Amino acid sequence: MGVVEFAAAKTLASSAVFLFITVLLIASAKRTVSCIVLFAVQCAVITAQIVAMASLRHSGDAVAVAVMVLLVKVLAIPYALLRVSARLKVSPKVSAATTPAQSAFIAAALILLAFAVVQPYARDFALDSEMLAAATAMVLTGGFLMVSRRKALMQVVGLLVLENGIFLLALTTTFGMPLVIEMGIFFDLLIWVLLMGVFIFRIRETFAHVDVSRLRRLRG
């Protein structure tokens, strides 16, 4: 038991760093496929975190959540997104409004902002400030991705990263929501991604492009 607990504690201690690195790399990636793969890696790290927490807390619920995260977010959703991306036959580039270096600096600034913002809460509620900051950074970066990437598929990835951040935030503060709610959220997410896949094809057929910045009919 000592070894397992040791491993679990060390995993929890070091996972925030991996999340920061994936956040930076997703922000500065140049191809859509790289973003999807990095998202899968991020979810794998979160799975490891949940397993570590489960073994420390001896809670079976958490193991079930971990399995669901693995199946839905690490395997199913990235697979669906990769299939959509392959069948769309558009350019593999991300079509960002900022260059990779600029995006990296913006992501770094967002990470610092996240860190600065969570310090008082981490102190007052005795939480792990690194994990909290990682979650906030993921939320902010997801928003940044949605704002600065012009491809419709990247909007999906951005929203998924944002949702990851919120999920991690819930994990850190409340040690997980009840199992039923978690299951509901995951199925929602899966259906939403599948629907978005279909919608993107429709967008492409109607407008002959998937560039979100050119969709300008939303006004009065």
Q: Interface residues with another protein (CB under 8 A)?
A: 10, 13-14, 16-18, 20-21, 24, 28, 99-102, 104-105, 107-108, 111-112, 115, 130
Neighbours of 44 (CB within 10 A): 17
Structure tokens at 195: 């629907």
Answer yes or no: are the C-beta atoms of 62 and 3 closer than 8 Å: no
Tell me the closest approach of the beta carbon of residue 80 to another protein, in angstroms: 25
Tell me the closest approach of the beta carbon of residue 68 to another protein, in angstroms: 27
Tell me the closest approach of the beta carbon of residue 128 to another protein, in angstroms: 13
3-class DSSP string for 124-185: HCCCCHHHHHHHHHHHHHHHHHHHHECEHHHHHHHHHHHHHHHHHHHHHHHCCCCHHHHHHH
Tell me the closest approach of the beta carbon of residue 148 to another protein, in angstroms: 15
Minimum CB distance to another protein smaller for 6 or for 199: 6
Half-sphere exposure of 81 (CA within 13 A, CB side): 31
Tell me the closest approach of the beta carbon of residue 16 to another protein, in angstroms: 7
Tell me the closest approach of the beta carbon of residue 83 to another protein, in angstroms: 22
Minimum CB distance to another protein smaller for 13 or for 181: 13
Minimum CB distance to another protein smaller for 130 or for 182: 130
Structure tokens at 105: 């600096």
Minimum CB distance to another protein smaller for 106 or for 177: 106
Half-sphere exposure of 28 (CA within 13 A, CB side): 14
Minimum CB distance to another protein smaller for 17 or for 181: 17
Gap between the Cα atoms of 152 and 154, Å rounded: 5
Answer yes or no: are the C-beta atoms of 138 and 162 closer than 8 Å: yes
Minimum CB distance to another protein smaller for 16 or for 48: 16
What are residue 149's DSSP bridge partners?
96
Residue with tokens 């790289």: 34
